[in-house]
Amino acid sequence: MNKAKNIDEYINGFPPEIQKLLTAMRKTIQKAAPAAGEKIAYGLPTFTLNGNLVHFAAFKAHIGFYPTPNGIESFKKELSKFKNSKGAVQFPYTQPLPLELVTKIVKFRIEEQTRKAKPAPDDFLKALSAPAQRALAANEVKTLKQLAKHTEAEVLSWHGVGPSAIPKLQSALAAEGLSFKK
């Protein structure tokens, strides 16, 4: 098993013809995801962006590409000519690498990871303690618009909402152009 510390080491651990394929995969992913980081994860070359983006690896007869189950499912038709599973696809050495398809999948994954990194406006509740969440729910506050109908003092008076919740709530409101009622 290849115990590489970084992607360069990983690629250099293979014969020249496999190195060319791995380098092509790496360059394609780098070009599609210039802001992504690189590391070895699970023993595989991995690109990261708000978590793991995609992995790739060399095997006996193929290059494995791991764009998560959503990456496979979203490109099911295009990937149907390759052996694939829930989260992986095999590109056999006997065929040219489908680098344009890899680019499309990587860009899809970037969008997916970017959405994941930006919580929905009403995910503000997740930043609060469980008692504060229950207090807001008890007062029928499930959205930032509903929260903006109340004053800070009113919200602080609710059992379960402590002073540490107010800056979090102010920040969430401000992100949506809202504020507490004056």
CATH (domain of 68): 3.90.1150.200
Per-residue model confidence as pLDDT tens digits over 41-91 = 999 999 999 899 999 999 999 999 999 999 999 999 999 999 999 999 999
Do residues 105 and 28 share a domain?
yes
Query: What H or E segment, with its residue span, contains residue 56?
Result: strand 52-58
Average pLDDT over residues 35-46: 95
- Sheet strands side by side (includes 52-58): 37-41, 44-48, 52-58, 62-66, 89-92
Domain enclosing residue 127, as ranges: 121-175
Determine the Cα–Cα distance for residues 58 and 83; give it in Å rounded to an integer: 15
Distances from the Cα of 136 to the Cαs of 120, 147, 169, in angstroms?
18, 8, 11
Do residues 16 and 90 share a domain?
yes
Do residues 36 and 96 share a domain?
yes
Determine the Cα–Cα distance for residues 162 and 132; give it in Å rounded to an integer: 7
Do residues 84 and 42 share a domain?
yes
Q: What is the pLDDT of residue 175?
A: 83
Half-sphere exposure of residue 155: CA atoms within 13 angstroms, side-chain side: 30
Do residues 104 and 56 share a domain?
yes
Residue 133 has pLDDT above 70, yes or no: yes
| pLDDT over 90, % of the chain | 81
